[in-house]
Amino acid sequence: MHLPDRAVAATALIEVVRISALPTEQGARYPGEVVAHWAGHEVADALTLIETLPGSEQHRCGFSPGWSIRAYEESLDLALFEAAFCFRCHEVRIHGTAVPPALTTQFFDADTTPARALLTLFRTAAP
């Protein structure tokens, strides 16, 4: 999977969100509870894991993401990007100021070891 290189390099904090609904407007945040904040090596480890997700073909489920991450630079002003993951249809939707159009919709193989490890990280973060 491809993340925006410039944003990855600038990421200092990640919010992990348990998504409760789809956004009502394009480009808006995914609503849900922030269940964790990752910093330091947790940021590097999570982004590296996400970048190792192998590609996949599109599966149809209607896109019902359960988790998202929001990446912030040190100022913590606006999110560099948000990536919402649907482990049923194997789709990731990414939006934000640092995201080129070619990266906004991607597909990953949710049945692989890296994808299962990412899902475990998300589930472990939730209370």
CA distances (Å), origin 114, targets 38, 45, 61, 94, 108: 18, 12, 21, 19, 10
What does the pLDDT read at residue 16? 97
How many C-beta atoms lie closer than 10 Å to residue 15's C-beta?
19
**Widest CA span in the chain:** 38
Question: 């002003």: which residue's tokens?
Answer: 77
Token pair for 88: 């049923």
Handedness of CA 63, 65, 71, 76 (dihedral sign): positive
The reported pLDDT for the residue numbered 58 is 80
pLDDT in tens, 71-127: 999 988 889 999 999 999 999 999 998 899 999 999 999 999 999 999 999 999 987
Give the integer Cα–Cα distance in Å for 48 and 69: 13
The two structure tokens encoding residue 118:
């990412």
CA gap 52, 20 in Å, rounded: 26
pLDDT value for 109: 95
Rounded Cα–Cα distance for residues 43 and 49 (Å): 10
pLDDT, tens digit (0-9, with 9 covering 90-100), for 25-78: 888 899 999 999 999 999 999 999 999 999 988 877 778 889 999 999 998 888
Confidence at residue 90, expressed as pLDDT on a 0 to 100 scale? 93
